[in-house]
Amino acid sequence: MKKRVLVTGGTKGIGLEVAKMMLDLDYQVIVAGRNFSNFPLKDNTDVEMIEVDLSNLEALPTFISKVGDIDVLINNAGYMQPKYKYDNYPEEEKEKLMNVDLHTPVELMNAFSVSMKKKKYGRIVNTASIAGQIGHPDVWYGIAKAGLINATKSYAKCLGADGIVVNCVAPSAAETDMQKDNDEARKKAFKAAVVTNRFAEPEEIAKPIVWLATECPEYINGITIDINNTSYAR
C-alpha cells in the first residue's frame, strides 16, 4: 500500500513542487487548497483534492476527517499581509494570518500524530520562514513563523519517542504568488541580501522539504533548515 502525504497549500508554488516530487516517489498525495481551478495535477489518480479554508479553525474537524490517516504531514500553506504596518493591523487580518501560519499547523500536528503514534512512524515538515528568525515588516507573519519554528522543536520532543520526526524549513523570499503583495523596493532589498541577487525558485525549497519528509535520518529531528543563500548565515 502506498504511503499517504498531506500537502497544505499544494495547488501552486512550493506546495505544488512538493506534491509533484512526492508523486514521483510513489506517494498517494492529498492536496489541501482554496481553489483547484488551475491545478495541474487534477487528473492524476494518485492525487486527492480537498477544498478548505485553513484560516477557519471551525472547519478543521471536517477537513481532518476527510483526509483520514496519513504517513506524512507537510504544513506548507502560508499567508502574508505586508501592506499592513505594525500599528494599523486589522484584527480580522491578524486572526486570519495567525490561523493559517500557526494555529492550523499546530492543530494538524495534534490530529494526525494520533494515527502516526499507533504506527510508530510519521514525518512532519513545517514551512516556516526567515521572517521568524530575523524579524519582518509584516510583524504578525514574523511572529507566526517564529512560533512555528518553536512548535517544531516542541513537537519533535513530544513525538520523537513514538517514531515521529518533526522538522521545518525557513526559506527567504521565493518566486511565488506571495511576492505580488510586496512592493518593488522591498523586492529589490530582498534580492540584494543574497549573493546571487535573486529569489529562490520553488523547487529549491521543495527539495529539502521532500528530503525531510522521506529520506532524512531519524536522528535529524527538531531542526530548522535555513534556505536563504547567505542572507542569514549562522
Let me know: does 175 contact 199? Beta carbons within 8 Å.
yes
User: pTM of this prediction?
Assistant: 0.94
pLDDT of residue 176: 67
Distances (CA, A) of 174 to 109, 115, 123, 194, 228: 25, 33, 24, 12, 9
Give mean pLDDT, residues 132-154. Answer: 94
Exposure b/e, 179-205, CB count within 10 A at least 16 = b: beebeeeeeeebeebbeeeebbebebb
In the chain, the percentage of residues whose pLDDT exceeds 90 is 78
Residues 6+ apart with CB under 8 A from 73: 5, 6, 108, 109, 112, 122, 123, 124, 125
Half-sphere CA count of 70, side-chain side, radius 13 A: 29
Each residue of 173-205: pLDDT tens digit? 877 666 566 667 676 777 777 888 888 899 999
Please name each of the domains of the chain with its CATH number.
4-227 (3.40.50.720)
Give mean pLDDT, residues 119-131. Answer: 97
State the burial class of residue 30 (Cβ atoms within 10 Å of its Cβ: 0-12, 13-18, 19+).
buried
* Widest pairwise Cα distance in the chain: 52
Distances (CA, A) of 6 to 18, 28, 58, 69, 105: 10, 9, 19, 10, 12
Q: For Cα atoms 112, 117, 121, give the angle at the middle one, nearest 5 degrees.
A: 95
